[in-house]
């Protein structure tokens, strides 16, 4: 499914030290009323937790790093799930040697510093996540 959408507001800011990265981004969406959009961010975290989706077993395996890391890139989107804004984001992180790794951003990632840009989009029809039988993931449903 896809459709043409329009640009809305652009919100730029930074997150407070110590907050959970994923939860804080969702809070920004709730506070600004963004239900559809795109997110980019850079910064650093004091610890990180990311998921890798096991396509055969249909479960996320989580990896956790309890050490300072750079956020080389965070790319994500915002849509509706369970009646509120839901952030789906992937991060590329780097360690003190510049080695990169990452995955599906999960709760448990603590912000050291984070600068983000949230771009709102406007659509005639909502983007709502619902269980997808083909993948086991929660994906956008075609509202018809
Ligand atoms: Zn993902």
CA atoms within 13 A on the CB side of 8: 18
Residue 33 Cα to ligand 1 midpoint, Å, equals 22
For the chain, give every domain's residue range: 9-121
Listed residue (135, 128, 77) closest to 104, CA to CA: 77
Residue 22 Cα to ligand 1 midpoint, Å, equals 12
Residue 97 Cα to ligand 1 midpoint, Å, equals 26
Q: 9-121, what's its fold?
A: 60s Ribosomal Protein L30; Chain: A; (3.30.1330)
Residue 106 Cα to ligand 1 midpoint, Å, equals 9
pTM as predicted: 0.96
CA atoms within 13 A on the CB side of 108: 13
Tokens of 100: 């990169």
The model's pLDDT over 31-72, given as tens digits with 9 standing for 90+, comes to 999 999 999 999 999 999 999 999 999 999 999 999 999 999
């Amino acid at each position: 499914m896809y459709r043409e959408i329009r640009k809305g507001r652009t919100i730029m800011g930074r997150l407070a030290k110590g907050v959970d990265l994923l939860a804080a981004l969702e809070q920004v969406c709730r506070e600004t009323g963004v239900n559809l959009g795109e997110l980019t961010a850079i910064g650093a975290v004091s610890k990180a937790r990311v998921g890798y989706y096991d396509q055969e077993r249909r479960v996320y395996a989580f990896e956790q790093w309890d050490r300072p890391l750079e956020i080389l890139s965070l790319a994500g989107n915002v849509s509706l799930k369970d009646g509120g804004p839901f952030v789906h984001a992937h991060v590329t992180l780097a360690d003190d040697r510049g080695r990169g790794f990452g995955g599906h951003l999960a709760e448990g990632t603590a912000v050291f510093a984070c600068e983000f840009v949230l771009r709102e989009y406007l659509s005639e029809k909502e983007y709502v996540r619902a269980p997808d039988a083909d993948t086991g993931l929660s994906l956008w449903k075609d509202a018809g």
